[in-house]
Structure 1
Amino acid sequence: MSSTPIDTDRSTSAMAHARPDLAAPALEETVAAARQLAQLFAEARAAVAFTGAGVSTESGIPDFRSPDGVWARFDPREFTYQNFMGSHEGRRRYWALGRVTYPIIRAAAPGPAHLALAELHRRGRLACCITQNIDGLHQRAGLPDDLVIELHGNATRARCLECDFACSRDLLHGRLEEGIDVPECPACGGIVKPHTILFGEALPRTAVQEAERRAAAADLCVVLGSSLVVYPAAYVPRQARRAGARLVIVNLEPTPLDREADLVIRARAGLVMSAVLEVLTSADPSPQGG
């Protein structure tokens, strides 16, 4: 992976077209920051992306923690792992929530940030993506499944907690639509649970270990659309920074790690990553990843 000098103004017109609401000074500042990020990608040997809800809100999936998000309508204290495992009523409430949220996830298409990251990987510019999201949009955009580390699981899959039978979430959602309030395992009738992490549930050990390994080996960590307030997942970018990686944060709101970052960009992830990809393409149009 070669380091290609970045010297282009092509991203300015594209960004102006995408965000005509931006005032000229803000636009120029964001474009300049996108060029800086493109240069960092060009210089990196092991770039890692860390993505949060802000990447998927551009695909129409609401941020659960936003003022008009899911937790504004449902009490998150009712949706703990302990409640799910402890009673039929706890599972009924969970599946009632899932009946609302899963169709939104299922209908969503990869947004500009998902597509840009997949293309960066194809060009040999991205080693992997560590995500807090559960929607599977990184894979649908084209990132290989083994290079997407899902710290909070994946809402499109489910498994039985008793016989380990695995199935598609679509199958279980069909049961809900038929009027069954708590789907059971199709194989043994046991408790079946979506492959997502509930409040009070430990993160998957394998995913955490792989994320830590990738963070320790990274020379560039780019945070996209994460407020970095949900732990332990939010430790990953901090670990990368302390291991020597350059840290870039692209988020609309401030984060606790802004002071440690080499570059902070207050803009939408999709807007910035599309501009980064355009800059890299103009500087080196031939993919390096084959």
Structure 2
Amino acid sequence: MRITVLTGAGISAESGLATFRASDGLWENHRIEDVATPEGFARAPELVHHFYNQRRARLAEVAPNPAHHALARLARMHDLTLVTQNVDDLHERGGSAEVIHMHGELTRALCAACDHRWPAPAVMRPDDPCPACGKPTTRPDIVWFGEIPYHMDRIWDALDHADLFAAIGTSGNVYPAAGFAQHAARRGIDCPELNLADSANSRDFTHRITGPASQTVPQWVASLTAT
């Protein structure tokens, strides 16, 4: 069976990573406009680097939870395309060998001048030189609001060929990811939503499985791998 799974902040929240709440526009007490937009980075690169340095430090303190491990088991049993909106590396640390990070990766750095990418150090600064071109144009390899998500052709292709699509821990507020369920449902395939509560686009799913991801995801995966 070909399965495409989209994960959002809800799957990592139980590991101790804070989620972005669109209702108040804050992420770790910072305005999204200040730390997650190109304009915010242009205004205050020191603030933005400090913010993501703190996120990397926090990421090093947490561990994958049973939901991350369950999806790694699913990939060993079925043809799984795992897409995440998350910028953490908990899927990889949970055993998933191949993960599509549509919003970038906290553990990667990007040169705004030449697009070179490399593993991010624990602490990044605005004047860090790019190891490829030498210019001091280092930024986090994060897709900020107003920028185009990564790997979209690959994601749409996976949705077009999936036998099942599931979203786990997503808010349903951020596009294009919020449109994946509707796109998949048009093909008549099963589209479950696994979440603590209904998302903004719950109507696009065929059914909902409510509860903490650390409980619902292992149970759901077990139901798919029972045969």
Asked if TM exceeds 0.5, the reply is: yes
Aligned residue number for residue 144 of structure 1: 97
Match of 1:247 among 184, 191, 197: 191
How far does residue 48 in structure 1 lie from its aligned partner after superposition? 1.2
What one-letter code is carried by the residue in structure 1 that aligns with 2:145? Answer: F
How far does residue 112 in structure 1 lie from its aligned partner after superposition? 1.0
Q: Which segments of 5 or more consecutive residues in structure 1 lack a partner in the other structure?
A: 1-44, 285-290
CA RMSD of aligned residues (A): 2.3
Most deviating of 240-249 and 101-110: 101-110
Match of 2:107 among 146, 156, 165: 156
How far does residue 67 in structure 1 lie from its aligned partner after superposition? 8.0
What one-letter code is carried by the residue in structure 2 that aligns with 1:154? Answer: E
Q: Which segments of 5 or more consecutive residues in structure 2 lack a partner in the other structure?
A: none
Residues 51-104 of structure 1: per-residue CA shift (max 9 Å, x gap): 1101001111111227899526111122321232x3xx5211201211222211
CA contact (8 A) 1:63 1:69 kept: no
Residue 189 of structure 2 corresponds to residue 189 of structure 1: no
Specify the SS of the correspondent of 1:107.
Answer: coil
Distance (Å, rounded) in 1 between the aligned partners of 2:24 and 2:18:
8
CA contact (8 A) 1:211 1:236 kept: no
Q: Greater relative contact order (Cα 8 A, min sep 6): structure 1 or 2? A: 1
Aligned residue number for residue 219 of structure 2: 275
Task: After TM superposition, list the pairs within 5 Å mapping 1:1-290 onto structure 2.
Answer: 45-65=1-21, 71=27, 73-79=29-35, 80-84=37-41, 86=42, 89-124=43-78, 126-145=79-98, 148-169=99-120, 171=121, 173-174=122-123, 181-187=125-131, 188-204=134-150, 207-279=151-223, 283-284=226-227
CA contact (8 A) 2:109 2:139 kept: yes
Count residues with an aligned counterpart.
Answer: 224
Specify the SS of the correspondent of 2:170.
Answer: coil
Distance (Å, rounded) in 1 between the aligned partners of 2:152 and 2:113:
24
* Residues 257 and 164 (structure 1), Cα distance of their counterparts in 2 relative to 1, 3 Å cut: closer
Which one has the largest radius of gyration?
A: 1
Most deviating of 259-268 and 152-161: 259-268
Residues 115-139 of structure 1: per-residue CA shift (max 9 Å, x gap): 1010011122x42111111102212
How far does residue 280 in structure 1 lie from its aligned partner after superposition? 5.3
What one-letter code is carried by the residue in structure 1 that aligns with 2:111? Answer: C
* Residues 277 and 201 (structure 1), Cα distance of their counterparts in 2 relative to 1, 3 Å cut: closer
Specify the SS of the correspondent of 1:222.
Answer: strand
| Structure with greater helix share of residues | 1
How far does residue 215 in structure 1 lie from its aligned partner after superposition? 0.8
Distance (Å, rounded) in 1 between the aligned partners of 2:200 and 2:24:
23
CA contact (8 A) 2:111 2:117 kept: yes
Distance (Å, rounded) in 2 between the aligned partners of 1:69 and 1:81:
16
How far does residue 279 in structure 1 lie from its aligned partner after superposition? 4.6
Distance (Å, rounded) in 2 between the aligned partners of 1:186 and 1:257:
40
* Residues 68 and 268 (structure 1), Cα distance of their counterparts in 2 relative to 1, 3 Å cut: farther
Specify the SS of the correspondent of 1:142.
Answer: coil
* Residues 104 and 261 (structure 1), Cα distance of their counterparts in 2 relative to 1, 3 Å cut: same
CA contact (8 A) 2:110 2:116 kept: yes
Specify the SS of the correspondent of 2:27.
Answer: helix
* Residues 66 and 276 (structure 1), Cα distance of their counterparts in 2 relative to 1, 3 Å cut: same
Distance (Å, rounded) in 2 between the aligned partners of 1:276 and 1:203:
28
Specify the SS of the correspondent of 2:147.
Answer: coil
Specify the SS of the correspondent of 2:200.
Answer: coil
